[in-house]
Amino acid sequence: MSAYDHIDHALTTTIGLSAATALTVLITAGLFLVTTTIGLRVMRYAILAHRARVIEIQPPPTATMDQAHAFWAHAMGLLKPRWRRALLQPHLAFEVLASANGVRLQMWVPGIIPPGVVERAIAAHWPGATTHTTPATRYRDANERTHAIGGWLAMARPDDYPLRTTFADDPMRALLGAVRDLGPDQSVCVRVCARPATGWRLQHARISAARLRGRTMGIARMVWDPLGPSTARAPAWPDVTDNIRAILTKANSPRLACHASYLLATTSTTQEAHERLRGRAHSVASYAAAFGSGTQQLTRSRMWWPQLWRTHRYLARGYLLSVSELAALAHIPTDEVIPGLERAGARRIAPTPSIPTGDTNARVIGDADTGNTRPVALTVPDARQHTHIVGKTGSGKSTLLANLALQDAHAGRPALVIDPRGDLVTDILARLPKHAGERVVLWDPDDNAAPPRLNLLHGADPEFTSDTVVGVFRRLFASSWGPRSDDILRSASLTLTRANDPTLTLGDIPRLLADDAYRARLVGRIQDEFLAGFWHWYEDLSRNARTSSTGPVLNKLRTVLLRPWVRNVVASGPNSVSLPEVWDNGGLVLMRLPKGVLGEDTASLIGAFALALTWQTVTSRVGIPEHQRNDVNAYIDEAHNFLLLPRSMSDMLAEARGYHLGLTLAHQELSQLPPELRKALAANARSKIFFTSSPEDATSLQDHTLPELGAHDLSHLGAYQGAARLLVNGRERPAFTMRTRALPPRIPGRATAIRQAARQHSPPTRARAPRTADARTRLNT
């Protein structure tokens, strides 16, 4: 009888089955087991991939390996309870993607992990990093017809032995060097999948260490050790002791089941392109050599069906890595300069709960740009202590100013807008509410209607008026301004102002200096002996001396008054607008002063005088109880061009709060401000809003935003993203980031209607035509 017959007879008599039947049952059971295992794995991955997301990571300016270690240690928190772990344990996939467009870092997160968990962990452990989350799509090129190759990075020895974890330089440097200069048809993906490990797998390392010691563990130890010799064991060899120490060091730290792979693809179909891709793959895989230690190293093996693995982030059993090993293998690069890798912009900082969200007595400046988006606002009382806005061109300053002015217009609060470019006022006009038309006073050199008259010499305080005129001219023409010019212009303007004639304007100064009879009539009214003494000195001068002395003053006046529109504004007669009435009735004064049309000096002069008249108006309300004074908000773009008043800006800013005048001053660079003005704004403009700035400015501005936001953040803010440090109830609150709101849509025909309504403030006819012509003639002599 053959051996098969004996087996068949034994099986038949024992379990009632023939050998063939038993073999069939075993094969069927094996196939069922394999099929079930594969089916369960596919089902588990399908559950993980459902609603999975990809978190693109923009690295902070600097990163360290310790930060990566802290992140992966935090990832151990993904470990589920024992009963749920047996069914499904999620994993993360850290990926380095490279193409001709540069290098990107991203994290694949299963859908069963709640949104925001991993994003917050990244932000917490890599301060300054920003994330952008999108639904996960299969990683592939736009062209599906690609040639792909790839490989697996596996342990050369049992995973009880550790990889290298300490490096003088970033171990990822070799990988980033290998993916440089990729062709437009090439792409690379290096992926590390990891999930927390626990249970019996973690005990294997201690068993290995015990074996190296020549010992046994568990049941075998209870059985064999009593039967063994009782003599002392021989000491282990030094290399064995080192291995034991390395194994136990790894065993004493949290471990994760991991797998690493690399995949490369090209859309080219030529054999040469495929050969180049293979050579690039060898370069990419060689970066794994950096992780070799004295006891362990990574080896690579061929990846079959790379197209399949390019589209799936599946993690099977994997091998065990400690947190330190995983951090070395999957981390944000620590080199500060990495070609092709885009660093993070500004950190996104949430506003504190004390920041207002907006009400009838507040103006919304934007919305928080963190996860919980909400409005952020500045109250009108806090705005009295002024707002300083700094940012490059196109960063969002004008949009913010327009939104603030529009909110004032809707609420019926008086406001002044000075715009040296023209777009700001144009945007406001196209969006104003219809009921605001009768309250708008508009100066615009491109408007065909006669502009409202603004007589700079008609003020309640002659000395302040004269000081303002002289101070503005002095600052505008500082390089060619001397004491003689200062003396002549001050005396002439003071003489015209004290004449108490509202029809006298700057256009009368040339006539005052040149016409003896006209001058005699005005000087005869003067009661001030010191001012009269100046004119006695002037009368004693020869004609040549007079011409020499007055020439510098007259040529400065020509710069302004030779422009017809400017002459109609400041030198054509008495005021056609009463600013006190405008502010009392919630008026909106819009001064569109494009420098390209008027010239920089002229635009600065008119804007500075408008601000001076506003200041003179609000200070005249000193007799009104403070709680009865209307708040006036002044929005001044490119403010350095208009802050030319003769008095100290520090004193003016400090006093304006009591008069309920809130200044919002915007400009591009700190270098545009004189040192004294810069210090005054730093100290007295209590609310700060900074858009993206130059590195030099950011270094200075960070003094106002630290510790929340530093220089890197301020110089890397996005378009229409701002950093704000607001005053709330008299206290400066911590800085935060926000995004300004887009302007509402233009209202068709609204700008034309508002312009038409604003013409009620224009003079019906040009006043004093004969004398203006005479003044113009003398001005040109």
- pTM to 2 decimal places: 0.77
pLDDT of 230: 44
Residue 231 has pLDDT above 50, yes or no: no
pLDDT of 329: 94
- pLDDT band at residue 33 using 50, 70 and 90 as cut-offs: confident
- pLDDT band at residue 13 using 50, 70 and 90 as cut-offs: low
- Bridge pairing between strands 147-155 and 255-266: antiparallel
Residue 304 has pLDDT above 70, yes or no: yes
Please name which of 707, 663, 668, 702 lies closest in space to residue 685, comparing C-alpha atoms.
663
pLDDT of 40: 64
Per-residue pLDDT tens digits for 93-109: 999 999 999 999 999 99
3-state secondary structure of 58: strand
Percent pLDDT > 70 in the chain is 85
Picking from 140-149, 620-629, 653-662, which range would have the lowest pLDDT averaged per residue? 140-149
Name the token pair of 119: 């994003």
> Domain-by-domain residue ranges, the chain?
3-43, 50-329, 355-451+587-781, 455-574
- pLDDT band at residue 14 using 50, 70 and 90 as cut-offs: low
- pLDDT band at residue 84 using 50, 70 and 90 as cut-offs: low
**Phi then psi dihedrals of residue 632, to 5 deg:** -115, 125
- pLDDT band at residue 768 using 50, 70 and 90 as cut-offs: very low
The mean per-residue pLDDT over the stretch 422-431 comes to 94
Residue type, 363: R
Residue 532 has pLDDT above 60, yes or no: yes
Give every CB contact of residue 17 below 8 A, 6+ residues apart in sequence. 11, 25
Per-residue pLDDT tens digits for 592-635: 999 989 888 889 889 988 888 888 888 888 778 888 888 999 99
Q: How far apart are CA 727 and CA 527, in angstroms?
A: 49
DSSP state, residue 642 = T
- pLDDT band at residue 222 using 50, 70 and 90 as cut-offs: very low
Cα 475 to Cα 299, 471, 643, 774, distances in angstroms:
74, 6, 10, 29
In contact, 416 and 610? CB cutoff 8 Å: yes
pLDDT of 284: 92
pLDDT of 702: 95
Does residue 320 or residue 89 have the better pLDDT? 320
Does residue 294 or residue 709 have the better pLDDT? 709
The mean per-residue pLDDT over the stretch 453-462 comes to 81
| pLDDT averaged over every residue in the chain | 84
Name the token pair of 748: 């068709």
Picking from 224-238, 272-286, 407-421, 473-487, which range would have the lowest pLDDT averaged per residue? 224-238
3-state secondary structure of 396: coil
The mean per-residue pLDDT over the stretch 139-166 comes to 80
The mean per-residue pLDDT over the stretch 66-77 comes to 90
Does residue 525 or residue 518 have the better pLDDT? 518
pLDDT of 342: 86
Per-residue pLDDT tens digits for 241-270: 767 777 777 878 888 999 999 999 998 889
Q: Per DSSP, which regions of 492-544 are E strands? A: none
pLDDT of 208: 64
Does residue 151 or residue 142 have the better pLDDT? 151
Residue type, 44: R
Place of tokens 């304007």: 505
CATH 3.40.50.300 for the 355-451+587-781 domain, yes or no: yes
Can you name the CATH fold of 50-329?
Vanillyl-alcohol Oxidase; Chain A, domain 3 (3.40.462)
Q: How far apart are CA 386 and CA 639, in angstroms?
A: 13
The mean per-residue pLDDT over the stretch 174-181 comes to 90
Residue 309 has pLDDT above 50, yes or no: yes
Does residue 336 or residue 553 have the better pLDDT? 553
